[in-house]
Amino acid sequence: MNHSPMNHSPMADLVIDTLRADQALVVVRANRLDDPVALCRALAAGGIRTVELTYTTPGLTDLLAQVSAEAGDDIVIGAGTVLTADQAHAAVAAGARFLVTPGLPPEAAEIVATGHAAGAAVILGALTPTEVLTATSLGADAVKIFPARALGPRHLSDLRGPFPEVALIPSGGVDADNAAEFLQAGALAVTAGTSVVRPADVDEARWDQITTNAARFRAALR
């Protein structure tokens, strides 16, 4: 059984290296997203360059393609809530540099294979030690610990014991108040959500506010 990522593409390495440098990514939950390029640039201006747009937002593949074509190379764009190999294929075809699952869907192995065939990084979701073990055996480049709020930083620290080489990324309930604790517990990076990208700010195109939120989140990590 393999316990380390099989993917050594330059693009996948860039994703992990950017996460390690910024210590954060943002998952965007929005009912609609009219200007994904402006959103990504606003986040990057605040110091968070890795952005996960999800399949819960209508028209995801079009949004990914728009960001890939227009946002610039410093934006690392990916697709979240990936549940099937077909979704994985559509996302990487649209320019996603990484794929994220909320857990271990039945097609997890196919999602990893699809992402790696395109050179993309794959971050599989898990919560328990057994799920982390499964994710790593499937070749995940990193493992998203979700929902992180359920068991907190101590759980992440406990997982680091048997899995010291696995890149763990807590998601769900991480904010400026607790993000540093997750990093101290051994996280590669933490996932910011609506505390940085509030749906109302997206709807009203309050890009300066989102930049401020991102910068505040980054500052809290230190």
What are 63-108's pLDDT values in tens digits? Answer: 999 999 999 889 999 999 999 999 999 999 999 999 999 999 999 9
What are 120-163's pLDDT values in tens digits? Answer: 999 999 999 999 999 999 999 999 999 999 999 999 999 999 99
Average pLDDT over every residue of 101-120: 98
| pLDDT at 72 (0 to 100) | 87
Q: How far apart are CA 46 and CA 172, in angstroms?
A: 21
Average pLDDT over every residue of 111-121: 97
- Long-range contacts of the stretch 170-178 (C-beta < 8 A, 24+): 170/144, 170/145, 170/146, 171/27, 171/125, 171/144, 171/145, 171/146, 171/147, 172/146, 172/147, 172/148, 173/147, 173/148, 173/149, 174/148, 174/149, 175/217, 176/216, 176/217, 176/220, 177/220, 178/152, 178/153
- What are the residue boundaries of the structural domains of the chain, listed by start? 10-220
Residues involved in catalysis = 52, 144
Second-level CATH architecture of 10-220: Alpha-Beta Barrel (3.20)
Q: Is the distance from CB of 29 to CB of 54 less than 8 angstroms? A: yes
| pLDDT at 6 (0 to 100) | 56
Kindly state the percentage of the chain with pLDDT values over 70: 96
